[in-house]
Chains A and B, each alone.
Chain A
Amino acid sequence: MSRILDALRPAYARAWVRIRGNMRVKTWLLWEVVLPTIFMASVIYAYHNLDAPRIFIGFVVVGTMMMNFWFNVLWGMGNVLYWEKETGNLEVYLLSNRPIYMLLLGMALGGMLNTGIRSLAILLIGILVFGAEFNAAGLLPATLVFLLTLAALYSLGLMFSSLHLVYGRKGIRINEVLGDPISFLSGQYYPISVFPTLLQAVASLLPLTIGLDGVRRALLLGEGMENLYIHLAGLGIMTLILLPLGIWILNRMVEKGRRDGRLIMRWL
């Protein structure tokens, strides 16, 4: 037990820094809630303008809430090793002789908490200001799908972070082109059932698409576990594949960086 706790210490330490860092300026929280809310409001008004049924407000609120986690995976986890390198922290981590994936676990946990607070605020705004309606009975299955989605997404983030370690500035560009395409493919503002079949199949390869669909089904349509087991199984399998794969790729990239002498080289 003490060995497990000892192994988790770097994760705890990094998560603490991340949480504290994000809370350093209190009003950041306000801005970070306001910004996605502005875009959410725009889409809700667009739906109003089209006389869309009320359920669409729920689609938008859930989509905005969950998309926040994707952006956190991209910029708060994937991109972070690049910035640690630029600011000179990476060499300190590497010298600490602790597995680097534990540091990333800390970043993931810290990021999840920070993003969770912001997403909760967005959910409340969606309900109180825009009148989104959710089915309380779907809360438990929605939570399960949501947690599994986070596990799969942050495992994917582990893989991204290794790309950033090697590709430097190119990694930032990769992140940039993973914004709108993923928003579209995951069905941020509508269910993907409106897509052509082939596009639905491609979109279903993303954990976020499955997670969003599952949470919407539970919270908006009131579907129970019996209808969501495919979502749960899919997300579970994705996590089981992505997590070890992410750790393996990360270790390989660190090794490669060491071999090529580029691991802590800045401005690449």
Chain B
Amino acid sequence: MWGIIRRMLAVVWLTFKEQSNWTSLPVYLLYIFINPVFQVALYGYIYIAVAHLSGITSPEAAFYMVSGIALFNYIGSGLYGVIWTIHSEREHFRTLKYTYLAFPDLQLYLTSRGLYHYLVGLATSLAMLGLGMLLIGYPMLGSLDTLPNIAILLLIGIAWSSQIGVVVAGLSIYSSEYGPVISESFGGLLFLLGAVLYPVSALPPWLQPLAHIFPMVEWMELMRHYLNPSYIPGDIGGLWTLLVIKTLATIVITYLYFRLVERLVRKTGMLEASLHH
């Protein structure tokens, strides 16, 4: 167990160096906060624009949007971190083959690469949450009692989203042509279906069943509830049960799927098939 943790920490450190070695630490810190800050402004202003131009106000809808965009940043950072590893190591750095030879387990390696991005995502999401609530003027009253639940949910969030990332990375190994677009599209799909800016009920009826495939909706609604206990998304116990079941199912399916992908990749020699062929 200690061996696995040590490997994971080494990969987290490697990811930090790879992400930040182009500049000094203060500039890097500034860099990681710029986009999230403007992102929360971009989406927060959707509410402000409607309120400003049509006079329609709904503080609850504003809370929903801003908390959603901040939470999506956490999930999205980690997810993209996992997914883009294949593309960047194969196309940009051309090191995927060395990683494959040096690291005993590619699935664990991908998950560990994502861990660093979850840490960055957590820091930036907190900033987004604070700034966003300030922007829309929502008086969110946090409670220390809910912190353990939030911590557990953050870990569960890593568990399901990193494994979804591994599934998409598995697709990316097969296709250098489609890898980047699949990655982007998948993040977009979660953004559309995952109760980020609006509840699932706001989607057209034919899209709503798709939204319930992933554990994202339950995770988002529970996080909102524990961030702001006055927000009650429904049966909390039911949401927890669904979240745990879906997360476990995601982990098991990903494990089996990735073993299959790995075997096929070795068999077909696709590991290093880059876009420049």
Which one of A9-17, A112-120, A178-186 is at the B interface? A178-186
Which A residues between 169 and 219 are near B, CB-CB below 8 angstroms?
A: 169-170, 173, 176-177, 179-181, 183-184, 188-191, 194-195
A25 contacts partner chain B, Cβ-Cβ < 8 Å: yes
Beta-carbon contact of A173 and B23 below 8 Å: yes
B61-75 to A contact mask, C-beta < 8 Å, 1/0: 100010000000000
Interface size on B, residues (CB 8 A): 40
Closest partner residue, chain B, to A53 (CB atom)? B54
A41 contacts partner chain B, Cβ-Cβ < 8 Å: yes
A229 contacts partner chain B, Cβ-Cβ < 8 Å: no
By a CB distance below 8 angstroms, the chain A residues around B58 are 50
Tell me, rounded to whole Å, the shortest Cβ–Cβ distance linking A80 to chain B: 15
Q: Which of A27, A35, A45, A176 contacts B197 (CB 8 A)?
A: A45
Tell me, rounded to whole Å, the shortest Cβ–Cβ distance linking B100 to chain A: 21
Beta-carbon contact of A46 and B46 below 8 Å: yes
A38 contacts partner chain B, Cβ-Cβ < 8 Å: yes
Residue from B23, B47, B188 with most neighbouring chain A CB atoms (10 Å): B188
Tell me, rounded to whole Å, the shortest Cβ–Cβ distance linking A170 to chain B: 5
Q: What is the interface residue range for chain A against chain B? A: 35 or more
- In angstroms, Cα B189 to Cα A265, docked, is 39
By a CB distance below 8 angstroms, the chain B residues around A177 are 31, 34-35
Tell me, rounded to whole Å, the shortest Cβ–Cβ distance linking B32 to chain A: 9
Beta-carbon contact of A194 and B56 below 8 Å: no
By a CB distance below 8 angstroms, the chain B residues around A47 are 46, 50
Which A residues between 22 and 53 are near B, CB-CB below 8 angstroms?
A: 25, 27-28, 31-32, 34-35, 38-39, 41-43, 45-53
Which B residues between 46 and 94 are near A, CB-CB below 8 angstroms?
A: 46-50, 52-54, 56, 58, 61, 65
Closest partner residue, chain A, to B36 (CB atom)? A180
Which B residues between 160 and 203 are near A, CB-CB below 8 angstroms?
A: 177-178, 181, 184-185, 188-189, 191-192, 196-199, 202-203
B228 contacts partner chain A, Cβ-Cβ < 8 Å: no
Beta-carbon contact of B276 and A87 below 8 Å: yes
Which one of B37-45, B102-110, B235-243, B252-260 is at the A interface? B37-45
Tell me, rounded to whole Å, the shortest Cβ–Cβ distance linking B33 to chain A: 10
Interface set of B (CB-CB < 8 Å, partner A): 22-23, 31, 34-36, 38-39, 41-43, 45-50, 52-54, 56, 58, 61, 65, 177-178, 181, 184-185, 188-189, 191-192, 196-199, 202-203, 276
Return 10 A-B CB contacts under 8 Å, by A number.
A35-B181, A35-B184, A48-B198, A49-B199, A53-B54, A180-B36, A181-B38, A184-B42, A184-B45, A188-B42
